Amino acid sequence: MNGILNWVLWLPIIGAVAVLLAPKAKENVIRMITLVTTSVTLLLTVLLYLKFDTSTADMQFVTKIPWITQFHINYHLGIDGITMLMTFLNALLFFICTLSSWTVEKNVKAYFALLLMLQSTVFGVFFALDFFLFYVYWEVMLIPMFFLIGIWGGENREYAAIKFFLYTFFGGVFMLIGMVALYYATGKGPDSFSILALQGGKFVKETITLFGYTLSFEHVFFWFLFLGFAIKVPVFPFHTWLPHAHVQAPTAVSVILAGVLLKMGTYGFLRIAFPIFPQAAVDSSTIIAVLGLISVIYGAFCAMAQDDVKKLVAYSSVSHMGFVMLGLAAMTSQGMNGAVLQMFNHGTSTAMMFLLIGIIYERSHHRWIVKPDGSKGYGGLASQLPKYTTVFIIGMFASMGLPGLSGFISEALIFLGIYPRFTTITVIAVIGLLIGAAYLLWMFKRMFFGEPNPDNHDFDDMNAREVFYMIPLCICVVVFGIFPSPLLNVMKVSVGQLVDLLSKY
């Protein structure tokens, strides 16, 4: 079974090559190759889940092959409980996005090849246990995202793609400096790039001289890594690239961006920044909690101000990822488990919202709740599109954190975890939940109630394909809202190990 990670990682690349070899005119063949590839990849991740040992925090399905031997760089892969959830989420969303992209007509071959390449690079980020390999996948991921937004996006797609690329690349430069510093701090030894070997607080007493000042090595380079990961989350004030990228990106790319790519940032904290620099992480927890709180409140207020429904959901992602940062700042078992669970649950609920916006956009060719000239955009959709309205309600209430749906349990665990350490921040963060309920319900009222817009009279309800790819997400938000144990059982030992490490500092 050790080779299964290689199959999960490289199968999308094999699929991308097959897509590129297919005749350009055979668009349905290209679509089917992509669908088969993502389907088999999803089945392999289900097999991973079934074979996963939940009783240990050790890395499983490990592959380690020497790569650049003179610098002790290895092709080193493995997963633990945290990675397992992100792996399944990635496979599920790319399978769904393949189906949602069935109507793409512009340069079909390049689109699906880039989509499969993107899936492989995201898997690489989650699987990598070598810091150099992690960084390579982190940066290569920018290439397919840049072209998917820049070619298949909206009117301002070039601006959005360049802004996304520059922000993430800027953060990556700081991560690169941190990686180089760790390489020399370890004496350029055989474990200089091993993420697992670097963990455990080995650099607490190290110092570094910068601009004539002697500073703590751990604290300086924790913040270098923090900046690289915070931009991807995105944490306020590094969030400004996100609304542009979301609004301009095609539907499937928005789903991947919100559902998986934002989680790469918080995954970086869990896998690299916190375990390697635990003292600095604990010392910085108050700052992390405050930035998370600002993201929660600011993102919610910005969402409330939007008349573009896609931008509204984009800002809601800033707010919801702020809750993840609060859970990480708690550094308690409940808070950390809630943060990882929120990463998964936000991936499913926000994917629902972006897919639903894409469905209505295909019919209306706009995203306005209220148009810029003050006229009605959407309205009265409930009477026209009953199936669409039903699925929208499920996704909306899951995003809101309604008890019985997936968003509730993860947010509840975060609040339980952070309350003892940051009581005031916890109380203020509840305001973010109230504003979230307000903007979502207000959006729903304006879009679905009232008199139908005469321009929207000929909309068709969801077709069989659209219903089919929404069903797995509906199942996830309902089942894991009532019974989250299948997710919690997988990650609790790995999260517990990190909490134990942080508790020593």
* pLDDT tens, position by position, 30-57: 999 999 999 999 999 999 999 998 888 8
Distances (CA, A) of 235 to 44, 240, 325, 422: 33, 10, 8, 18
Q: Quick check: 149 and 164 in contact, CB under 8 A?
A: yes
Distances (CA, A) of 86 to 45, 206, 259, 494: 10, 33, 10, 13
Q: What pLDDT does residue 413 have? A: 92
> How far is the C-alpha of 461 from the C-alpha of 125, rounded, in Å?
38
Q: What pLDDT does residue 1 have? A: 62
Whether 236 has a pLDDT exceeding 90, the answer reads no
% the chain with pLDDT above 90: 46
The two tokens of residue 16 are: 């991308």
CA atoms in the 13 A half-sphere facing the CB of 280: 28
Q: What pLDDT does residue 205 have? A: 78
Q: Quick check: 370 and 377 in contact, CB under 8 A?
A: yes
Q: Quick check: 496 and 416 in contact, CB under 8 A?
A: no
Nearest to 229 by CA among 180, 174, 177: 174
- What is the average pLDDT across 237-245? 84
Residue-wise pLDDT for 414-430, tens only, equals 999 999 888 999 999 98
Dihedral over alpha carbons 461, 466, 467, 468 (to 10 degrees): 160
Instruction: Please name the amino acid found at residue 117.
Output: M
Whether 204 has a pLDDT exceeding 80, the answer reads no
E-only strand ranges, 73-206: 73-79
Three-state DSSP state, 62 = strand
pLDDT band at 291; cut points 50, 70, 90: very high
Instruction: Please name the amino acid found at residue 72.
Output: H
Element (H, E) at 317: helix 309-330
Specify the pTM. 0.92
Whether 213 has a pLDDT exceeding 80, the answer reads no
